[in-house]
Structure 1
């Protein structure tokens, strides 16, 4: 037994035999359009990998190729070291031992909740399939809903049923396509925590597709950031946040003030100071990117002169817009304390974190 995010005692999910999953130069073309450009990626057994990126970047296509729903144009997919998709072999989806949870849950409306969950257990006898289905439903807190039909369930309950169906066969790899996108924010947080607990209990290798950077950071052991059918950067949440490989990655994980500059004598000059840019050649046009949380509002006469334009209450924080001489666009700050009213002259001071600098 274990406790979920709300402190309720729940049974533990059955343990899976986790399997490693690898993509080797996987390419997928649709006519003249290329959805995936030679993707190579290794996911060790038991790891939770989040595929992150904007809509249309190829995340779901890669997931569907792993599941066997689509075939790669070229390249290979290896499951536990064996080719399941490629030039020499193609294993049907139902033979791969991979669980797939769709974005729309894809529940059968004419089947009860228990029948939906037991659908992937048809190789077992009826009694055993029912027992395993009920265990999975009990783990997601819906055992009492076994004889109901999907149409009378809420979105969160349908999501739980889909998760129970995915884990019931105890797959070695579990694939989840934006599983929380249809839920409201409070329920989404709750379901993320519960799902993460279940993934840790089952120990299955998991790939979670999302376009939400915070969700990826909360759930993933590693994050694979994608853009335009290519991998941009793969690493831990700390690595992608602290050392983004390019400005696309930086923008995905932070709210930035982007200040144009030009490298001279190995430095980029801005109204906020001079910053080292030795890795870039002199005369290179750059963007000096300062995270909103790395600027502090200080009294006038200290730091860089600025004028408060507007303050917006965002619940836990304020978002303050300021005008700074020498910076064409407004500068935004998320201060920890109160801010003077619009029109007040203040100063802006840099925090200890150095800005990120990228070619413009």
Structure 2
């Protein structure tokens, strides 16, 4: 198991600062998800960790040993880092067994035995060892790619959007299987993704990236519930951000008086609620109106607008069997405290 530490990493391409002083510690044996919009620097960061590129400044260390800085660079092939990319990158002309054993320094019998063991570890039938990649499903190909990355016993595993090309149901099942394998192996892992739900479900630590740096790093539940700013909040999921005047642990908002999670603050600011904190109930005297409704199977996404000129609008999911309909007036109840942005 390996601890990864990044300190003040910078990387520019021409006039574009891809990384602007990134710092991060990934504890040994843990899983960290890096999430952010396209172009924020996620892939550049993975390339530096893997050794495919050199930082302009800052350091990368494995267990306290510097593997990259502006002055020195341990070559990629000596870092022992496993990588699983979006499309798996399996060799189409090789069998599954040969793909898994490709980087191993051993005789064929040993490679075959190891490939068989790894197939069982990633939840695939050993009978597939003789198949070619085009005879496998997308999820099976990704598990073979993981087995190949595990074959050389990597110190660190980098997952670069490995589930994004899979169908929704297959994506969740493959992610769960990969997570279980990596946990059992005790391999320090970094997942890069633009899928917020995937990042929240996979990681022990969540790092939200924006414009070449991390806006917030912490436990997934903490970052989701107490984001550092409104932009981070809305990137991680639907968020209702309201203007507020705060004092004595309560906020005066367009939704009425709400408890806040920071009783020490007094003054004008913004507060945030997550949709799961809110409940709608049909009421002739309610302060909001339901607008557009979009059916999504078990739920309906509804647009809710507060009455009054310039009243804010937000979207919520409600059960599809709910009797509420477009045009209904509703009362809104809130559970828990609103998160306060300082």
| TM-score (normalised: structure 1) | 0.86
Partner residue of 2:294 out of 297, 300, 312 = 312
Native 8 Å contact 2:240 2:275 kept in 1: yes
Native 8 Å contact 2:19 2:41 kept in 1: yes
Native 8 Å contact 2:245 2:253 kept in 1: no
User: Bigger CA drift: 83-92 or 273-282?
Assistant: 273-282
Q: 1:89 to 1:323 in 2, by over 3 A?
A: closer
Partner residue of 2:110 out of 128, 131, 155 = 128
1:231 aligns with 2:214: yes
Aligned to 2:166: 183
Superposition RMSD on alpha carbons, in Å? 2.3
Native 8 Å contact 1:180 1:188 kept in 2: yes
Aligned to 2:137: 154
Aligned to 1:139: 121
> What are the equivalent positions in structure 2 for 1:80-159 lying under 5 Å apart?
80-121=63-104, 123-140=105-122, 141-159=124-142
1:249 aligns with 2:238: no
Partner residue of 2:148 out of 147, 157, 165 = 165
Taking the aligned partners of 2:14 and 2:327, their CA distance within structure 1 comes to 57
Taking the aligned partners of 1:268 and 1:146, their CA distance within structure 2 comes to 62
Query: Shift in Å at residue 291 of structure 1?
Result: 2.1
Partner residue of 1:348 out of 327, 332, 340 = 332
Q: How many residues align?
A: 336
Query: Shift in Å at residue 249 of structure 1?
Result: 2.0
Q: 1:331 to 1:246 in 2, by over 3 A?
A: closer
> What are the equivalent positions in structure 2 for 1:212-231 lying under 5 Å apart?
212-231=195-214
Q: 1:273 to 1:179 in 2, by over 3 A?
A: same
Taking the aligned partners of 1:87 and 1:258, their CA distance within structure 2 comes to 42
What runs of 5+ residues in structure 2 fail to find an aligned partner? none
Tell me the secondary structure at the aligned position of residue 140 of structure 2. Answer: helix
Query: Shift in Å at residue 281 of structure 1?
Result: 6.8
Deviations 1:146-180 (A, max 9, x none): 22222332212211111110111111211110110
Query: Shift in Å at residue 325 of structure 1?
Result: 1.3
Query: Shift in Å at residue 293 of structure 1?
Result: 2.2
Native 8 Å contact 2:97 2:115 kept in 1: yes
Deviations 1:34-89 (A, max 9, x none): 11111111112101111111111111111111111111111111112111111443
Native 8 Å contact 2:58 2:69 kept in 1: yes
Taking the aligned partners of 1:242 and 1:49, their CA distance within structure 2 comes to 18
| TM-score (normalised: structure 2) | 0.90
Native 8 Å contact 1:263 1:280 kept in 2: no
What runs of 5+ residues in structure 1 fail to find an aligned partner? 1-17
Q: 1:264 to 1:172 in 2, by over 3 A?
A: closer
Q: 1:258 to 1:242 in 2, by over 3 A?
A: closer
Taking the aligned partners of 2:136 and 2:315, their CA distance within structure 1 comes to 43
Native 8 Å contact 2:282 2:328 kept in 1: no
Taking the aligned partners of 1:149 and 1:349, their CA distance within structure 2 comes to 56
